[in-house]
Amino acid sequence: MKKLLMISTGGTIASTLTEDGLAPGIKPEDMLNYLNGVENICKIETHELLNIDSTNIQPEHWIEITGFIKRVYNDYDAFIITHGTDTMAYTSAALSYMIQNPDKPIILTGSQKPINMDTTDARKNLKDSIAYALSEDVAGIYVVFDGKAIIGTRARKTKTKSFDAFESINYPIAAFIDGKRIAKYVRNEKKGPVEFYENIYPNIFLLKLAPGMQPDVLDYIGDKYEGVVIESYGVGGLPFEDRRNFQEKLESLTAKGRIVVIASQVMREGSDMSIYEVGFKTMKNYNVLESLDMTIESAIVKLMWIMGQTKEFKEVKELFYKKINEDIIY
């Protein structure tokens, strides 16, 4: 019988109603009481590592989660992390970079309604997570939600209230789960022994372009942050006309040694800055990176992980375009 560890971090799944609204308050061992019969298919233990709303999740928490899993990694066959939905995609991306090549499943799940509500989706999501964790030939970081297993670097929350809250962006669903029936479509490639990374650089700024924005915002960002991800339009590019010339400001930003990644505000299909002049000039004239088909969550967190190892542009570039947990296929 396989041995699983359920790690609780809080979130809606563990929440109860308070005077100030929903707040985490249910212990992980109490959550198991809602799952009839689970003790007959596996041995499952629980550990409350955090007890917070996922809006409060920070990079330091990812280090804490990674360090804890590292300490107990050899004691269990699989890990299920219950987590709030709002930042789950960031955490699943972070763990994909901080725990590379795991030979066992590390699954994040949660719910849109607390587990103690009659209409909750929590019980299904937990049962699906356990079923997927127990199935054969599953290893890697996943989000399991609403009957779908999504590779950790490809998950994104696309709905605020509905049960089908997560989608796999620019990559197929790894598996569909319907009770004990699991249809697998892709699986992670094993590339070597498991590696744990506990250094991460959180000082990254996300800037979303909008018409009318003043380019001197890049001066402020360059003084405060060493890395910036710019969500530009369409397939990627920065304005260069005299009225609001972002490319001119980009020159001073990169001259300071700041690492700049250009991403797209469009969720699907990714960037290709070779197509239009606004993108081609940006890539040709400045030391910048583009996110290609990565999710915005993965682009941000990958840059944090890389800059925790190095801040040399050549080395950052090499690592940024290296495929990790199926995060990039261009």
Tens-digit pLDDT profile for residues 113-134 = 999 999 999 999 999 999 999 9
Global confidence as pTM: 0.96
Q: How far apart are CA 31 and CA 28, in angstroms?
A: 5
- Percent of the chain exceeding pLDDT 90 equals 86
Residues 202/233, Cβ–Cβ less than 8 Å = no
Confidence at 185, pLDDT banded by 50, 70, 90 = very high
Q: Give the least confident one: 56-65, 169-178, 182-191, 217-226.
A: 182-191
Tens of pLDDT, residue by residue over 60-97, are 999 999 999 999 999 999 999 999 999 999 999 999 99
pLDDT of residue 229: 98
Q: Does residue 24 surpass a pLDDT of 90?
A: no
SS (H, E, C) 243-308: HHCHHHHHHHHHHCCCEEEEEECCCCCCCCCCCCHHHHHHHHHCCCEECCCCCHHHHHHHHHHHHC
Q: Give the least confident one: 31-40, 76-85, 311-320.
A: 31-40
pLDDT of residue 22: 86
pLDDT of residue 228: 98
Structure tokens, 152: 């950790």
Confidence at 40, pLDDT banded by 50, 70, 90 = very high
Residues 102/194, Cβ–Cβ less than 8 Å = yes
What residues pair up with 6 in beta bridges, in sequence order? 46, 80
- Give me the active site residues, please: 12, 85
Q: How far apart are CA 173 and CA 184, in angstroms?
A: 8
The residue with tokens 């590019």 is 237
Average pLDDT, the chain: 95
What domains can be seen in the chain, in order of their start residue? 3-196 (3.40.50.1170), 204-321 (3.40.50.40)
Alpha helices in the chain (DSSP H): 28-32, 59-72, 88-98, 122-134, 217-224, 246-255, 277-285, 296-307, 313-320
Q: Give the least confident one: 246-250, 288-292, 301-305.
A: 246-250
Q: Does residue 262 surpass a pLDDT of 90?
A: yes
Confidence at 190, pLDDT banded by 50, 70, 90 = confident
Annotated binding site for substrate: 54, 85-86
pLDDT of residue 64: 98
Annotated binding site: 54, 85-86
Q: Does residue 188 surpass a pLDDT of 90?
A: no
Residue whose C-alpha is closest to residue 98's, from 67, 71, 76: 67
Burial-class residue 83 by CB neighbours within 10 Å (0-12, 13-18, 19+).
Answer: buried
The residue with tokens 């989608």 is 167
Q: Does residue 277 surpass a pLDDT of 90?
A: no
Q: How far apart are CA 205 and CA 4, in angstroms?
A: 37
pLDDT of residue 33: 93
Radius of gyration for the alpha carbons in the chain, expressed in angstroms and rounded: 21
